[in-house]
A and B are shown apart, each in its own frame.
Chain A
């Protein structure tokens, strides 16, 4: 049953890729539509010195580590 599920998943994935090609997938959010994304309140790291410190606290007080923070945010409007 698991094997069947994997096979169906692979076929569906490959099919989806093929579909993407034939649909000529294009960027669906234009630069002029990114005002909201460019707002500073949409930044994952609005204050780097503050975010870095908080990561430091978490790393010191918790056993888990890595994959902190996050890139992105902003507009890409250059």
Chain B
């Protein structure tokens, strides 16, 4: 039929179709040797964000606790469940609450999707804060990871904003009054406060305009920003030389191997040195001769760890979603604030502080706290104590951090359990 005898017949093509499609999708078979392991990592779009080899230290579960991964996987769960919920939600004051009831009553899997979304959102705030603690307490924000730390703080703020904007959407009493209080706190910011409040609410009170604005922020503006920031955060992990590790994690090779003369400063042979592309990459990359290699292949070591963390995260969220229903209070009644009107738990520390002074509690103290977090790597420049939990060299920094953290947690606990009607002090027992 064809003049070119080399080309296979149509029949053969059809016969070999499944195999050929598969091979065009996945360039590599399941790897059996190191070359194929490397190849699998960098020929797959979803895997190539990983290095081909990772340091053993990166994989120590008790060092990272997997908190960054858990945050990311919670975000993935939130995006998926959030998109599904969008199919039934209408950001209108007349319909939003009824849609919540529909989700609970008539939409297939509506309850569990909303539960998953709610518990993942709470979980993400908690885990992101825990991730921040891990990074701080192991000194991982230090050079060269300063900017990634700053990005991390930005990610925390974005997570809180995501949570805050999502809070209004059910349009129940809890939502309405928490947002009324929250936007009023923003109004206390110096100079631009009133404008920010007006822009957020699209009017002078929380109403239809505010609901629409919060919806757009929650489903479009903030997720897009968060996705971009996460991408840069991940990218920077690799560009900054992988996860932090103790200075002695890689034994330094003996000097003679580096070609240095005994007793003299090692110098490069003039004019002979040429730099390849690898010269542009920071950190040890080329392994020559007997330099100790503490890395293992990402396939399967890193990927199996990630899969494990993902499955665990999803399992916990599923169990929570099956056991506990996301709260839904009475529909909005703009005339009767619930007594006491409480913000979501992670803002209760803020609300507690706000009950003493609106400016200092809502803007001043949190502003100083965030400012200190952002500046931490530029103020604390000692290179000591990186890669170890609670290093003795970091006693002062860790103590300051833990004091702030404990103060915050205490305020959250007081606001959650010890405040009753009219925000009066009550005992929960």
A and B associate in one complex: no
